[in-house]
Amino acid sequence: MGACGRYNFVVIGSAKTFGQRLIAWYDRSRRDLPWRVDRTADPTVLPDPYHVFVSEAMLQQTQVATVVSYFHRFIERFPTLRSLAEADEQDVLRLWQGLGYYSRARNLRAAALRVMSDFDGELPRTVVELLTLPGVGRYTAGAISSIAFGNRSPIVDGNVARVVCRIDKIMADPRERTTAELLWARAEQILPHERLGDFNSALMELGATVCIPRLPQCLICPVNAHCEAFAAGVAQQIPPPKVAKLSPLEKRWTFIVRAGDRFLVEQRPATGRWASLWQFVTMPADDGDAAARLQKAIGLPVSAMRAMGEVTHALTHRRYEFTVFTCEVHQSDVPSRTWVTLAELDCLPLSRPQLKVAQMAHSLQVDITPI
Ligand code: SF4
């Protein structure tokens, strides 16, 4: 029991019983996921730290159901931290294709390199050391330290924040900084003395499967006897709904430029959004003549230009709209750009919107005649 700000931290009943009930439920009900270990013989066995590291990177901003198949493919291709450190970045990005937020893949490989050089190839165990790795923040460090090494490290992700807010009937927005700090303090306070990784995993699992954003399943919740929001009948009001805000829209033109069975592509800069991925010729849209802008950009006359449609893509803070055109040219060298067949294109890492453009290009190939 303790106090922080204007909230009294009281787990109704006892904190010990709360932890015991939560872990007992986790043992019975947890989802069978490939980065978790089979506990049938020994409930205290810990998972492979590298598997935890890869899964935590993939799970940021991405649903579990999406991650599972990516995780299998990734571990099959890069079974060890060393194999990831020795991998070509383009191969790593190619395997990440479609998961989005590609900086996670680049950081994962960069972190593997750092572990090889600074930690003798062994993933560090403490939050302080883990925080020195590229792309590892407070949540990921806590998750690896507790889940893979059993350390007393709290974690707060979206699921944990929602569960803790409801258990303590915290009505404030968990996205606000002061509330977030309060939740980190609370997440540390409620840690039990054993099975720390399981306790953290159980909190996340409860948030993902029972204490869900809308319509929390309070009647079957293993810790409803400890929940202030349930007792007060306000679970659905916590956390307060996000104020809908339309993110800025960026408009782009993307050109499927083809010469016979070859398509003109370019690699994006090494920094920024979709860094180092490949794309069809893409530029900011304006009110001008798309064909003229393209001709100027590639230095070739174009013919048979027509619009094919639009591809939209929404990220957390930005929306994109790509107007896609196709046109034909005679194949010539184009500085900073490369001609590829569609089979070759399929081996290059592309962002999700460019994958959709590639599908449009595949549909064109059906009626390709040499020009
Ligand atoms: Fe969430 Fe309801 Fe369980 Fe409370 S009782 S933790 S609100 S599911």
pLDDT in tens, 102-142: 999 999 999 999 999 999 999 999 999 999 999 999 999 99
Alpha carbon of 13 to ligand 1 centroid (Å): 15
Q: Which domains does the chain have, with CATH numbers?
A: 9-237 (1.10.340.30), 249-367 (3.90.79.10)
> Do residues 357 and 280 touch, judged by C-beta distance below 8 A?
yes
Q: Where are the beta strands (DSSP E) in 260-365?
A: 262-267, 278-284, 303-314, 319-328, 338-340
pTM equals 0.80
The enclosing H or E element of 21 equals helix 15-29
* CA within 13 Å, CB half, 173: 7
Ligand 1 atom with the smallest distance to the CA of 216 is 8
**Quick one: pLDDT band at residue 9, thresholds 50, 70, 90?**
low
Helix axes 15-29, 196-209, angle to 10 degrees: 70
Q: What are phi and psi of 12, to 5 degrees?
A: -55, 135
Q: Which residues contact 11 (CB under 8 A, 6 or more apart)?
A: 18, 167, 190, 226
The confidence score (pLDDT) of residue 366 equals 56
Beta bridge mates, 306: 326
> Strand pairing partners for 312?
321
HSE-CB for 267 with a 13 A CA cutoff? 11
Average pLDDT over residues 297-325: 93
Is the CB of residue 224 below 6 angstroms from any atom belonging to ligand 1? yes
Whether cis (ω within 30° of 0) applies to the bond prior to 239 is yes
Q: Within 10 Å of residue 19's Cβ, how many Cβ atoms? A: 24
- Mean pLDDT in the chain? 91
* CA–CA gap between residue 236 and residue 153 (Å, rounded): 29
Confidence category of residue 369, pLDDT binned at 50, 70, 90: very low
- Residue 125: the pLDDT is 97
Higher pLDDT: 319 or 332? It is: 319
State the first-to-last Cα distance of the chain, in angstroms, to the nearest integer: 77
pLDDT category at 335 given cuts 50, 70, 90 is: confident
106 lines ligand 1 (CB under 6 A): no
Q: Establish whether residue 165 lines the binding site of ligand 1, counting it when its CB lies within 6 angstroms of any ligand atom.
A: no
From the CB of 229, is ligand 1 less than 6 Å away?
yes
Q: What pLDDT, on the 0 to 100 scale, is given for residue 11?
A: 58
CA distance 279 to 320: 14
pLDDT, position 52: 97
CA distances from residue 20 to 190, 229, 369, 371 in whole angstroms, order as listed: 12, 20, 69, 72
**Average confidence (pLDDT) over 350-357:** 94
Percentage of the chain modeled with pLDDT above 90: 83
pLDDT score of 218 more than 70:
yes
Evaluate whether 141 touches 163 at the Cβ level (below 8 Å).
Answer: no
Distance 277 CA to ligand 1 centre (A): 42
pLDDT band at 100 (very low <50, low <70, confident <90, very high): confident
Q: How many angstroms separate the CA atoms of 203 and 187, rounded?
A: 10
Q: What is the pLDDT of residue 254?
A: 98
Tell me the two tokens of residue 51.
Answer: 């598997």
Tell me how many degrees the CA angle 161-28-230 measures, rounded to the nearest 5: 40
Phi (first) and psi of residue 363, to 5 degrees: -65, -25
Best probe residue, ligand 1, of 22, 219, 230 (max atoms within 8 Å of C-beta): 230
Distances, alpha carbon 315 to alpha carbons 249, 320, 352, in Å: 10, 8, 11
**196 Cβ closer than 6 Å to some ligand 1 atom:** no
Q: Taken in order 193, 194, 197, 203, is the CA torsion positive or negative?
A: negative
Burial per residue of 83-103, b for 16 or more beta-carbon CB atoms within 10 angstroms, e otherwise:
ebbebeeeebbbbbbebbbbe
Q: What is the pLDDT of residues 27-50, one digit of tens each?
A: 999 999 999 987 767 777 899 999
d(CA 150, CA 297): 56
Band (pLDDT 50/70/90 cuts) for residue 1 is very low
Which residue in 240, 214, 218 sits closest to 229, CA to CA?
A: 218
Crossing angle for the helix pair 49-59 and 64-77, nearest 10 degrees?
130
